[in-house]
Amino acid sequence: MMKKRMMKAAVVLTVAGSLISSGVQPAVANSGVNAQISDLKGKQQEVETKVSEKQSEITKLDGELKEIQGKIDSIRSKEAETEKKLAEAEEQLKKLEDEILELQEEIKILEERIEERKALIEQRAVESYQSGGDASYLEVLLGSQNFGDFVSKATTMTTIAEHDRDMLDEHIADEQKLQEMKAAVEEKKAAVEAQKQELEALKQELVSKREEMDKLRGDLDQKKQQLENELGEIISEEEILKNQEAALQAELNKQEEAASNGGSGQSSANRSNGKSKSSSNAVSSSSSSSSGGNSGGSSAPAASSAGFIHPAPGVGVYSGFGMRNGRPHNGVDFSSRGHIPIIASQSGTVSNSGYRHDYGNWITITHNVNGKQMTTLYAHLKERYVAAGESVSQGQTIGLMGSTGDSTGQHLHFEIHEGPFRFGASAVNPMKYL
Ligand SMILES: [Zn+2]
């Protein structure tokens, strides 16, 4: 049921794991705990170094992102400029096209006038022939190949009025001028079209450059997101370690207090010392957590020789400790339906009580067993009744069995660690202690 994705975290935290030996003699109990605290402090130092490394990577990425954004902004303003020039060219082209149309219209009118004038001259030539004139002129005139030819021939005809000839010349000269103007406008239009094509190519270039930059920025954003996630994980690891350090210190203080009160100075001190520092940290339900000793009705189970009790009395093992589907399963799963109170397996101080994506609602309790730090972990809880920093006694109800986090059905995932909880690194088979 539990799938762990904590291998990376485990690697980070494994380094100093082996420093804590499991065979500390009671005689050097406190020095053992002190060594554990200094080990945790060293661990924290490592974590803090990692945090500042990640943070400086993020700062560097932020610089790169800013630089790319600057480039993107500059490309965008070039794009806008090109867009504006394109619109101008478009407008200019439209004007030139209108101009060409107008010129074409004028040319057409002139051509019509020339046609009319020509018809008039032809008619006069016919009339002149009919009134006894020379037929050869008419033949010559009708046989002309083009306007120029026609005009030059017509001018030789005495029968044509002087002003008709002049007008024809004028019309032809005007038409020529218009044709020249039209050619000039067309040339200009071609130049603007070429310019427009250049602008379009430039725009395309800018767009693809910007798309490239956008992609680069997307990659960097993603990288940054990843770094921030990693940072978040490291920071939460740091918090977990700090919490355990504080809990261990609290356990140590309890032990010293008990010793100075004439007690044995060992773990039994925890039981007599029932003061629950009711923490202001929010816990998920109302159930009283101040008094320990039972698990909601059934009689308190007897502690094993190692001093631990079943965290969900009477509930059977669903999945054991060890490799499972090619991955280490760092605890034991106890599964049952219904309202199942979860109890503290051993007296101690709550070091972590919160929610994680993998463990769901989880609690760790730091224990000081004969001068040796031990940690129990309770995961996938439906509810948590204790907060970090609280002192709990063995058998005290700390939560309810549930299926929160990475879980597919109601069960308790229970871990025991020799030393502090350092993800998979320090987990041992809980059945060895139950
Ligand atoms: Zn499990």
Query: What are the pLDDT digits (tens) for 181-239?
Result: 889 989 999 999 999 999 999 999 999 999 999 999 999 999 988 888 888 878 888 88
Token output for 104: 């074409």
- Distance separating alpha carbons of residues 228 and 54, to the nearest angstrom: 8
- 257 C-alpha to ligand 1 centroid (Å): 37
- Distance separating alpha carbons of residues 182 and 186, to the nearest angstrom: 6
- 42 C-alpha to ligand 1 centroid (Å): 29
- 415 C-alpha to ligand 1 centroid (Å): 8
The answer to whether residue 291 scores a pLDDT higher than 50 is no
* H-run or E-run covering 104: helix 29-130
- 12 C-alpha to ligand 1 centroid (Å): 21
Calculate what percentage of the chain has a pLDDT beyond 70: 77
Task: Give the lowest-confidence range in 1-15, 129-143, 240-254.
Answer: 1-15
Looking at residue 41, what is its pLDDT? 77
Read off the pLDDT of residues 379-429 as tens digits, 9 standing for 90 and up: 999 999 999 999 999 999 999 999 999 999 999 999 999 999 987 778 999
* H-run or E-run covering 361: strand 360-369
Looking at residue 147, what is its pLDDT? 67
- 323 C-alpha to ligand 1 centroid (Å): 11
The answer to whether residue 65 scores a pLDDT higher than 50 is yes
Average pLDDT over residues 356-382: 93
- 36 C-alpha to ligand 1 centroid (Å): 27
- Distance separating alpha carbons of residues 38 and 379, to the nearest angstrom: 27
Q: What is the mean pLDDT of the chain?
A: 80
Please give the residue that has the higher pLDDT: either 311 or 291: 311
- Distance separating alpha carbons of residues 333 and 353, to the nearest angstrom: 19
pLDDT band at 375 (very low <50, low <70, confident <90, very high): very high
- 248 C-alpha to ligand 1 centroid (Å): 25
The answer to whether residue 267 scores a pLDDT higher than 50 is no
Looking at residue 287, what is its pLDDT? 40
Average pLDDT over residues 246-263: 85
- 413 C-alpha to ligand 1 centroid (Å): 4
Q: Spell out the residues 6+ positions from residue 185 whose beta carbon is closer than 8 angstroms to its own.
A: 96, 99, 100, 103
- Distance separating alpha carbons of residues 234 and 6, to the nearest angstrom: 12
- 361 C-alpha to ligand 1 centroid (Å): 13
Average pLDDT over residues 146-163: 66
The answer to whether residue 154 scores a pLDDT higher than 50 is yes
Buried b vs exposed e over 394-429: b needs ≥16 C-beta within 10 Å?
A: bbbbbbbbbbbbbbeebbbbbbbbbbbbbbbbbbbe
Calculate what percentage of the chain has a pLDDT beyond 90: 47
Task: Give the lowest-confidence range in 24-28, 158-162, 354-358.
Answer: 24-28
Average pLDDT over residues 136-144: 71
DSSP string for 371-420: TEEEEEEEEEESEE---TT-EE-TT-EEEE-B--SS-SSSBEEEEEEESS
- 240 C-alpha to ligand 1 centroid (Å): 20
CA distances (Å), origin 152, targets 146, 156, 220: 10, 7, 81
- 366 C-alpha to ligand 1 centroid (Å): 20
Looking at residue 290, what is its pLDDT? 39
Looking at residue 298, what is its pLDDT? 45
- 67 C-alpha to ligand 1 centroid (Å): 47
The answer to whether residue 30 scores a pLDDT higher than 90 is no
The answer to whether residue 304 scores a pLDDT higher than 80 is no
Exposed/middle/buried for 193, CB within 10 Å: 0-12, 13-18, 19+? middle
Token pair 């008619």 in the structure block, residue = 123
- 360 C-alpha to ligand 1 centroid (Å): 12
Q: Spell out the residues 6+ positions from residue 59 whose beta carbon is closer than 8 angstroms to its own.
A: none
Read off the pLDDT of residues 322-348 as tens digits, 9 standing for 90 and up: 988 888 999 999 999 999 999 999 999
- Distance separating alpha carbons of residues 366 and 418, to the nearest angstrom: 10
Average pLDDT over residues 42-69: 87
Exposed/middle/buried for 130, CB within 10 Å: 0-12, 13-18, 19+? exposed
Exposed/middle/buried for 30, CB within 10 Å: 0-12, 13-18, 19+? middle
Looking at residue 296, what is its pLDDT? 41
pLDDT band at 155 (very low <50, low <70, confident <90, very high): low
- 332 C-alpha to ligand 1 centroid (Å): 5
Looking at residue 130, what is its pLDDT? 81
